[in-house]
Amino acid sequence: MIKKSIPALKLDQSIEGIVTRPDAFVFQMMASELLEIATVSTRLEKTDDNKYEHSKGGFQRILKGKRCNEINDFVREEYGFLPNNLILSFPEKSLYFIANNEDRSSGKLEITLKEGQLAFIIDGQHRLYAFHKDYNKDMIDIPLSVTAYHGLKENQNAEIFRAINEKQQKIPKSLIYDLIPLAKFDDSFPTERGQAIAEILNYTKTEMDDAGYDYDVSALSQRLYIDGRRSNLAQPINFSSAVNIFAKEYLNKANAGIFTQNGFQPLDIQVKILINFLNSFKGLVGKNFWEISKDSVFTQSLGITALLEKIPEILRLMQRKNIIHKEKHVPSQEEFFNLFNELFQDIEADKKDLFSSKTYKQYKRSFREAVNKLKEKFQDRINAIS
Protein backbone atom coordinates (compact mmCIF):
# COMPACT_ATOMS: atom_id res chain seq x y z
CA MET A 1 0.00 0.00 0.00
CA ILE A 2 1.18 3.53 -0.83
CA LYS A 3 0.16 6.50 1.33
CA LYS A 4 1.05 10.15 0.78
CA SER A 5 -0.24 13.48 2.11
CA ILE A 6 0.51 16.63 0.14
CA PRO A 7 -0.68 20.27 -0.12
CA ALA A 8 -3.10 20.69 -3.02
CA LEU A 9 -5.68 22.91 -4.67
CA LYS A 10 -9.17 21.70 -5.54
CA LEU A 11 -10.22 22.78 -9.02
CA ASP A 12 -13.85 22.79 -10.18
CA GLN A 13 -14.21 23.73 -13.86
CA SER A 14 -17.90 22.99 -14.15
CA ILE A 15 -20.05 25.65 -15.85
CA GLU A 16 -23.38 26.07 -14.09
CA GLY A 17 -26.31 25.14 -16.28
CA ILE A 18 -24.06 23.97 -19.14
CA VAL A 19 -21.69 21.20 -18.08
CA THR A 20 -20.72 19.38 -14.90
CA ARG A 21 -17.14 18.20 -14.69
CA PRO A 22 -15.36 16.03 -12.12
CA ASP A 23 -13.20 17.82 -9.58
CA ALA A 24 -9.47 18.01 -10.28
CA PHE A 25 -6.64 18.43 -7.79
CA VAL A 26 -3.48 20.40 -8.53
CA PHE A 27 -0.24 19.69 -6.67
CA GLN A 28 3.48 19.20 -7.12
CA MET A 29 5.49 16.07 -6.41
CA MET A 30 9.06 14.94 -7.06
CA ALA A 31 9.46 12.99 -10.30
CA SER A 32 10.92 10.02 -8.43
CA GLU A 33 7.80 9.83 -6.22
CA LEU A 34 5.44 10.11 -9.17
CA LEU A 35 7.20 7.22 -10.88
CA GLU A 36 6.29 5.08 -7.86
CA ILE A 37 2.57 5.79 -8.13
CA ALA A 38 1.88 6.30 -11.86
CA THR A 39 1.98 4.15 -14.98
CA VAL A 40 1.14 4.41 -18.68
CA SER A 41 -1.91 2.83 -20.30
CA THR A 42 -0.83 2.25 -23.91
CA ARG A 43 -2.91 1.13 -26.88
CA LEU A 44 -0.26 -1.46 -27.71
CA GLU A 45 1.63 -3.64 -25.26
CA LYS A 46 4.80 -5.60 -25.87
CA THR A 47 4.43 -9.37 -25.55
CA ASP A 48 7.04 -11.84 -24.34
CA ASP A 49 8.12 -12.55 -27.93
CA ASN A 50 8.74 -8.81 -28.61
CA LYS A 51 5.56 -8.30 -30.62
CA TYR A 52 2.83 -5.74 -29.98
CA GLU A 53 -0.82 -6.43 -29.35
CA HIS A 54 -3.76 -4.15 -28.54
CA SER A 55 -4.31 -3.46 -24.86
CA LYS A 56 -7.89 -3.38 -23.59
CA GLY A 57 -8.70 0.10 -22.34
CA GLY A 58 -5.32 1.51 -23.35
CA PHE A 59 -5.19 4.94 -25.01
CA GLN A 60 -1.62 6.28 -24.82
CA ARG A 61 1.09 6.08 -27.47
CA ILE A 62 4.05 3.75 -26.95
CA LEU A 63 6.78 5.37 -24.86
CA LYS A 64 9.69 6.59 -27.00
CA GLY A 65 13.09 6.36 -25.35
CA LYS A 66 14.59 8.96 -27.70
CA ARG A 67 12.00 11.53 -26.59
CA CYS A 68 12.68 10.75 -22.91
CA ASN A 69 16.41 11.26 -23.46
CA GLU A 70 15.79 14.57 -25.24
CA ILE A 71 13.69 15.88 -22.34
CA ASN A 72 16.26 14.73 -19.79
CA ASP A 73 18.92 16.68 -21.70
CA PHE A 74 16.59 19.69 -22.01
CA VAL A 75 15.93 20.08 -18.28
CA ARG A 76 19.68 20.48 -17.69
CA GLU A 77 19.71 23.68 -19.74
CA GLU A 78 19.36 27.13 -18.15
CA TYR A 79 15.80 27.59 -19.44
CA GLY A 80 14.84 23.91 -19.44
CA PHE A 81 11.58 24.40 -17.58
CA LEU A 82 8.72 21.87 -17.58
CA PRO A 83 5.83 24.20 -16.63
CA ASN A 84 2.94 22.15 -18.06
CA ASN A 85 1.05 19.87 -15.70
CA LEU A 86 1.13 16.13 -15.99
CA ILE A 87 -2.44 14.83 -16.05
CA LEU A 88 -3.08 11.72 -13.94
CA SER A 89 -6.17 9.64 -13.38
CA PHE A 90 -6.39 8.02 -9.92
CA PRO A 91 -8.52 4.97 -9.07
CA GLU A 92 -11.83 5.51 -7.30
CA LYS A 93 -11.57 6.05 -3.52
CA SER A 94 -7.80 6.61 -3.70
CA LEU A 95 -7.93 10.39 -3.13
CA TYR A 96 -9.38 12.24 -0.15
CA PHE A 97 -9.24 16.06 0.03
CA ILE A 98 -9.19 17.86 3.41
CA ALA A 99 -10.02 21.54 2.87
CA ASN A 100 -8.60 24.37 4.95
CA ASN A 101 -11.11 26.25 7.09
CA GLU A 102 -10.48 29.67 5.53
CA ASP A 103 -10.18 28.65 1.88
CA ARG A 104 -12.20 25.64 0.82
CA SER A 105 -10.25 25.31 -2.46
CA SER A 106 -6.91 24.66 -0.77
CA GLY A 107 -5.94 21.97 1.69
CA LYS A 108 -4.32 18.54 1.92
CA LEU A 109 -4.74 15.68 -0.50
CA GLU A 110 -4.52 12.20 1.01
CA ILE A 111 -3.41 9.58 -1.53
CA THR A 112 -4.00 5.92 -0.70
CA LEU A 113 -3.17 3.29 -3.31
CA LYS A 114 -3.82 -0.33 -2.46
CA GLU A 115 -1.56 -3.16 -3.58
CA GLY A 116 -1.60 -3.29 -7.40
CA GLN A 117 -3.24 0.12 -7.78
CA LEU A 118 -1.53 2.94 -9.73
CA ALA A 119 -2.56 6.23 -11.30
CA PHE A 120 -2.76 6.32 -15.10
CA ILE A 121 -0.85 9.03 -16.98
CA ILE A 122 -3.31 10.69 -19.34
CA ASP A 123 -0.82 13.30 -20.58
CA GLY A 124 2.89 13.79 -19.95
CA GLN A 125 4.33 10.27 -20.02
CA HIS A 126 7.58 11.37 -21.69
CA ARG A 127 8.06 14.28 -19.29
CA LEU A 128 7.75 11.90 -16.35
CA TYR A 129 9.72 8.96 -17.73
CA ALA A 130 12.57 11.31 -18.66
CA PHE A 131 13.45 10.87 -14.96
CA HIS A 132 13.24 7.08 -15.03
CA LYS A 133 16.52 5.28 -14.39
CA ASP A 134 16.59 4.03 -18.00
CA TYR A 135 16.91 7.60 -19.34
CA ASN A 136 18.26 9.52 -16.34
CA LYS A 137 22.01 8.93 -16.41
CA ASP A 138 22.86 10.67 -13.13
CA MET A 139 19.42 10.40 -11.50
CA ILE A 140 18.46 14.06 -11.33
CA ASP A 141 15.12 14.69 -9.64
CA ILE A 142 12.89 17.76 -9.82
CA PRO A 143 9.32 18.57 -8.71
CA LEU A 144 6.68 18.30 -11.43
CA SER A 145 3.26 19.94 -11.39
CA VAL A 146 0.27 17.61 -11.62
CA THR A 147 -3.45 17.84 -12.33
CA ALA A 148 -5.12 14.75 -10.88
CA TYR A 149 -8.58 13.38 -11.62
CA HIS A 150 -10.29 10.81 -9.44
CA GLY A 151 -12.49 7.85 -10.26
CA LEU A 152 -12.80 8.45 -14.02
CA LYS A 153 -14.03 5.67 -16.27
CA GLU A 154 -11.93 4.29 -19.13
CA ASN A 155 -13.85 6.25 -21.76
CA GLN A 156 -13.39 9.50 -19.77
CA ASN A 157 -9.62 8.97 -19.58
CA ALA A 158 -9.52 8.36 -23.33
CA GLU A 159 -11.71 11.39 -24.04
CA ILE A 160 -9.46 13.73 -22.05
CA PHE A 161 -6.41 12.34 -23.88
CA ARG A 162 -8.16 12.84 -27.25
CA ALA A 163 -9.23 16.39 -26.42
CA ILE A 164 -5.71 17.40 -25.36
CA ASN A 165 -4.03 15.96 -28.43
CA GLU A 166 -6.68 16.82 -31.03
CA LYS A 167 -8.23 20.13 -30.00
CA GLN A 168 -5.18 22.05 -28.76
CA GLN A 169 -3.04 23.55 -31.54
CA LYS A 170 0.65 24.34 -31.58
CA ILE A 171 1.64 27.92 -32.36
CA PRO A 172 3.15 28.42 -35.83
CA LYS A 173 6.86 27.68 -36.04
CA SER A 174 7.40 31.09 -37.63
CA LEU A 175 6.51 32.71 -34.29
CA ILE A 176 8.95 30.46 -32.43
CA TYR A 177 11.73 31.25 -34.89
CA ASP A 178 11.04 35.00 -34.74
CA LEU A 179 11.44 34.89 -30.95
CA ILE A 180 15.02 33.60 -31.28
CA PRO A 181 16.62 37.08 -31.61
CA LEU A 182 14.70 38.27 -28.55
CA ALA A 183 15.82 35.31 -26.46
CA LYS A 184 19.34 34.83 -27.79
CA PHE A 185 21.97 37.51 -28.33
CA ASP A 186 25.00 35.28 -28.84
CA ASP A 187 26.79 33.98 -31.92
CA SER A 188 24.44 31.00 -32.24
CA PHE A 189 21.59 33.13 -33.62
CA PRO A 190 22.69 33.17 -37.30
CA THR A 191 22.97 29.38 -37.33
CA GLU A 192 19.58 28.87 -35.68
CA ARG A 193 17.90 31.31 -38.08
CA GLY A 194 19.71 29.67 -41.00
CA GLN A 195 18.32 26.33 -39.88
CA ALA A 196 14.79 27.75 -39.74
CA ILE A 197 15.11 29.14 -43.27
CA ALA A 198 16.50 25.90 -44.69
CA GLU A 199 13.76 23.86 -43.02
CA ILE A 200 10.98 26.01 -44.51
CA LEU A 201 12.54 26.02 -47.99
CA ASN A 202 12.59 22.22 -47.85
CA TYR A 203 8.89 21.90 -46.91
CA THR A 204 6.24 20.29 -49.09
CA LYS A 205 2.83 21.98 -49.48
CA THR A 206 1.38 19.71 -46.78
CA GLU A 207 4.21 20.56 -44.37
CA MET A 208 3.73 24.28 -45.09
CA ASP A 209 0.04 23.99 -44.26
CA ASP A 210 0.67 21.92 -41.11
CA ALA A 211 3.18 24.51 -39.87
CA GLY A 212 0.69 27.35 -40.45
CA TYR A 213 2.61 29.11 -43.26
CA ASP A 214 1.02 30.78 -46.30
CA TYR A 215 4.17 30.84 -48.46
CA ASP A 216 4.45 29.36 -51.93
CA VAL A 217 6.34 26.06 -51.93
CA SER A 218 9.98 26.80 -52.71
CA ALA A 219 11.89 25.49 -55.71
CA LEU A 220 14.11 23.65 -53.20
CA SER A 221 11.24 21.66 -51.70
CA GLN A 222 12.59 18.22 -50.75
CA ARG A 223 15.93 19.06 -52.36
CA LEU A 224 17.77 19.53 -49.05
CA TYR A 225 19.07 16.29 -47.60
CA ILE A 226 17.73 15.90 -44.06
CA ASP A 227 16.56 12.97 -41.92
CA GLY A 228 17.28 10.47 -44.67
CA ARG A 229 14.83 12.08 -47.10
CA ARG A 230 16.13 12.38 -50.67
CA SER A 231 14.72 13.82 -53.87
CA ASN A 232 13.86 11.32 -56.61
CA LEU A 233 14.44 13.92 -59.30
CA ALA A 234 17.74 15.61 -58.52
CA GLN A 235 20.86 15.29 -56.46
CA PRO A 236 20.09 16.26 -52.85
CA ILE A 237 21.87 19.24 -51.32
CA ASN A 238 23.36 18.85 -47.87
CA PHE A 239 21.03 20.53 -45.35
CA SER A 240 23.83 21.70 -43.05
CA SER A 241 25.64 23.26 -46.02
CA ALA A 242 22.54 25.32 -46.81
CA VAL A 243 22.28 26.37 -43.16
CA ASN A 244 25.91 27.51 -43.18
CA ILE A 245 25.36 29.56 -46.34
CA PHE A 246 22.35 31.35 -44.87
CA ALA A 247 24.14 31.96 -41.57
CA LYS A 248 27.36 33.25 -43.14
CA GLU A 249 26.22 35.03 -46.28
CA TYR A 250 22.93 36.49 -45.18
CA LEU A 251 22.65 36.87 -41.43
CA ASN A 252 25.99 37.39 -39.73
CA LYS A 253 26.46 41.07 -38.90
CA ALA A 254 30.23 40.63 -38.76
CA ASN A 255 30.02 39.56 -42.40
CA ALA A 256 27.76 42.50 -43.33
CA GLY A 257 24.94 40.05 -43.99
CA ILE A 258 22.38 41.40 -46.45
CA PHE A 259 19.51 40.30 -44.20
CA THR A 260 20.74 42.51 -41.35
CA GLN A 261 20.02 45.53 -43.55
CA ASN A 262 16.97 47.15 -45.13
CA GLY A 263 14.51 45.85 -42.54
CA PHE A 264 14.99 42.26 -43.77
CA GLN A 265 15.46 40.84 -40.25
CA PRO A 266 12.04 39.15 -39.73
CA LEU A 267 11.96 35.50 -40.76
CA ASP A 268 8.79 36.08 -42.77
CA ILE A 269 10.53 38.61 -45.04
CA GLN A 270 13.68 36.51 -45.40
CA VAL A 271 11.73 33.42 -46.46
CA LYS A 272 9.58 35.34 -48.97
CA ILE A 273 12.67 36.88 -50.60
CA LEU A 274 14.37 33.51 -50.95
CA ILE A 275 11.25 31.75 -52.27
CA ASN A 276 10.67 34.52 -54.83
CA PHE A 277 14.33 34.37 -55.87
CA LEU A 278 14.47 30.58 -56.23
CA ASN A 279 11.07 30.16 -57.88
CA SER A 280 11.73 32.90 -60.45
CA PHE A 281 15.12 31.39 -61.33
CA LYS A 282 13.50 27.97 -61.73
CA GLY A 283 10.96 29.66 -64.02
CA LEU A 284 13.82 31.13 -66.06
CA VAL A 285 15.69 27.86 -66.69
CA GLY A 286 12.60 25.62 -66.77
CA LYS A 287 11.46 22.73 -64.62
CA ASN A 288 13.36 20.07 -66.61
CA PHE A 289 16.67 21.93 -66.38
CA TRP A 290 16.10 22.67 -62.67
CA GLU A 291 15.02 19.20 -61.55
CA ILE A 292 15.74 16.50 -64.13
CA SER A 293 18.42 17.19 -66.75
CA LYS A 294 21.73 15.46 -66.08
CA ASP A 295 23.46 18.19 -68.12
CA SER A 296 22.35 20.93 -65.67
CA VAL A 297 24.39 22.26 -62.77
CA PHE A 298 21.08 22.92 -60.96
CA THR A 299 20.27 19.23 -60.58
CA GLN A 300 23.57 18.99 -58.68
CA SER A 301 24.90 20.50 -55.48
CA LEU A 302 27.31 22.58 -57.58
CA GLY A 303 24.68 24.81 -59.14
CA ILE A 304 22.46 25.22 -56.09
CA THR A 305 25.41 26.06 -53.82
CA ALA A 306 26.75 28.69 -56.22
CA LEU A 307 23.28 30.15 -56.74
CA LEU A 308 22.58 30.43 -53.00
CA GLU A 309 25.97 32.03 -52.36
CA LYS A 310 25.27 34.69 -55.02
CA ILE A 311 21.88 35.77 -53.63
CA PRO A 312 23.40 38.53 -51.44
CA GLU A 313 25.14 40.02 -54.49
CA ILE A 314 21.91 39.82 -56.50
CA LEU A 315 20.10 41.70 -53.72
CA ARG A 316 22.82 44.36 -53.64
CA LEU A 317 22.50 44.71 -57.42
CA MET A 318 18.75 45.26 -56.95
CA GLN A 319 19.57 48.00 -54.45
CA ARG A 320 21.96 49.69 -56.89
CA LYS A 321 19.35 49.51 -59.66
CA ASN A 322 16.74 50.90 -57.25
CA ILE A 323 14.56 47.78 -57.55
CA ILE A 324 14.77 47.52 -53.77
CA HIS A 325 13.89 51.17 -53.31
CA LYS A 326 12.63 51.28 -49.75
CA GLU A 327 13.04 49.50 -46.44
CA LYS A 328 11.28 46.15 -46.14
CA HIS A 329 10.53 46.06 -49.87
CA VAL A 330 10.34 42.37 -50.77
CA PRO A 331 11.30 41.88 -54.43
CA SER A 332 8.53 40.00 -56.22
CA GLN A 333 9.04 36.96 -58.45
CA GLU A 334 8.37 39.23 -61.43
CA GLU A 335 11.08 41.68 -60.35
CA PHE A 336 13.59 38.86 -59.91
CA PHE A 337 12.56 37.33 -63.23
CA ASN A 338 13.03 40.62 -65.09
CA LEU A 339 16.50 41.03 -63.58
CA PHE A 340 17.47 37.47 -64.54
CA ASN A 341 16.33 38.14 -68.11
CA GLU A 342 18.70 41.10 -68.15
CA LEU A 343 21.56 39.03 -66.71
CA PHE A 344 21.00 36.03 -68.98
CA GLN A 345 19.65 37.44 -72.24
CA ASP A 346 20.12 34.19 -74.17
CA ILE A 347 19.15 31.58 -71.58
CA GLU A 348 19.15 28.68 -74.04
CA ALA A 349 22.77 29.41 -74.95
CA ASP A 350 23.67 29.81 -71.28
CA LYS A 351 22.09 26.44 -70.46
CA LYS A 352 24.43 24.81 -73.01
CA ASP A 353 27.53 26.61 -71.73
CA LEU A 354 27.37 28.64 -68.51
CA PHE A 355 24.99 26.28 -66.71
CA SER A 356 26.11 23.02 -68.32
CA SER A 357 27.62 20.45 -65.97
CA LYS A 358 30.11 19.56 -68.75
CA THR A 359 31.68 23.00 -68.41
CA TYR A 360 32.83 22.17 -64.88
CA LYS A 361 33.97 18.57 -65.34
CA GLN A 362 37.61 19.64 -65.16
CA TYR A 363 36.97 20.62 -61.50
CA LYS A 364 35.56 17.23 -60.56
CA ARG A 365 38.14 16.71 -57.83
CA SER A 366 37.50 20.09 -56.22
CA PHE A 367 33.87 20.93 -55.52
CA ARG A 368 34.76 24.32 -54.03
CA GLU A 369 36.84 25.26 -57.07
CA ALA A 370 33.91 24.42 -59.35
CA VAL A 371 31.51 26.47 -57.21
CA ASN A 372 33.88 29.44 -57.26
CA LYS A 373 34.29 29.24 -61.05
CA LEU A 374 30.50 29.27 -61.54
CA LYS A 375 30.20 32.17 -59.10
CA GLU A 376 32.82 34.10 -61.10
CA LYS A 377 30.73 33.68 -64.23
CA PHE A 378 27.67 34.90 -62.33
CA GLN A 379 29.67 37.89 -61.16
CA ASP A 380 30.79 38.73 -64.71
CA ARG A 381 27.14 39.03 -65.71
CA ILE A 382 26.36 41.15 -62.64
CA ASN A 383 29.29 43.49 -63.37
CA ALA A 384 28.17 43.88 -66.97
CA ILE A 385 24.84 45.45 -66.01
CA SER A 386 25.82 47.23 -62.77
Quick one: pLDDT at residue 385?
87
Task: Find how far residue 62's CA is from the centre of its chain.
Answer: 22
Lowest average pLDDT, out of 37-41, 203-207, 317-321, goes to: 37-41
The answer to whether residue 366 scores a pLDDT higher than 60 is yes
Quick one: pLDDT at residue 386?
81
CB-neighbour burial class of residue 63 (10 A; exposed 0-12, middle 13-18, buried 19+): middle
pTM: 0.55
Residues 85, 124: contact at Cβ < 8 Å?
yes
Q: What is the mean pLDDT of residues 364-383?
A: 88
Q: Using CA atoms, how far apart are residues 230 and 251, in angstroms rounded to an integer?
A: 27
More confidently predicted of 101 and 367 = 367
Quick one: pLDDT at residue 190?
79
The answer to whether residue 228 scores a pLDDT higher than 60 is no
* Interval 116-152: pLDDT, tens: 899 999 889 999 999 999 998 888 999 999 999 998 8
**Average pLDDT in the chain:** 83
* Interval 260-284: pLDDT, tens: 766 677 888 889 999 999 999 999 9
Transcribe 43-71 into DSSP letters: SEEE-TTS-EEEPTT--BPPP-HHHHHHH
Quick one: pLDDT at residue 161?
79
- Residue 4 parent element (H or E): strand 2-11
More confidently predicted of 328 and 114 = 114
Quick one: pLDDT at residue 168?
64
Quick one: pLDDT at residue 49?
53
Q: Residue 252's pLDDT band (boundaries 50, 70, 90)?
A: low
Helix axes 367-385, 301-320, angle to 10 degrees: 30
HEC profile of 156-196: HHHHHHHHHHHHCCCCCHHHHHHCHHHHCCCCCHHHHHHHH
Task: Find how far residue 7's CA is from the centre of its chain.
Answer: 37
Quick one: pLDDT at residue 163?
79
| pLDDT > 70 fraction of the chain, expressed in percent and rounded | 83
Q: Using CA atoms, how far apart are residues 335 and 318, in angstroms rounded to an integer?
A: 9
Selection from 95, 97, 65, 71 nearest residue 84 by Cα:
71
Q: Using CA atoms, how far apart are residues 317 and 382, in angstroms rounded to an integer?
A: 7
Quick one: pLDDT at residue 167?
64
Selection from 40, 12, 148, 33 nearest residue 90 by Cα:
148
Q: What is the mean pLDDT of residues 58-71?
A: 76
Q: Using CA atoms, how far apart are residues 69 and 380, in angstroms rounded to an integer?
A: 52
Q: What is the mean pLDDT of residues 206-232?
A: 77
Quick one: pLDDT at residue 51?
41
Q: Work out the angle at residue 252's Cα, subtended by the Cα atoms of residues 248 and 256, and round it to the nearest 5 degrees.
A: 100
Q: Residue 289's pLDDT band (boundaries 50, 70, 90)?
A: very high
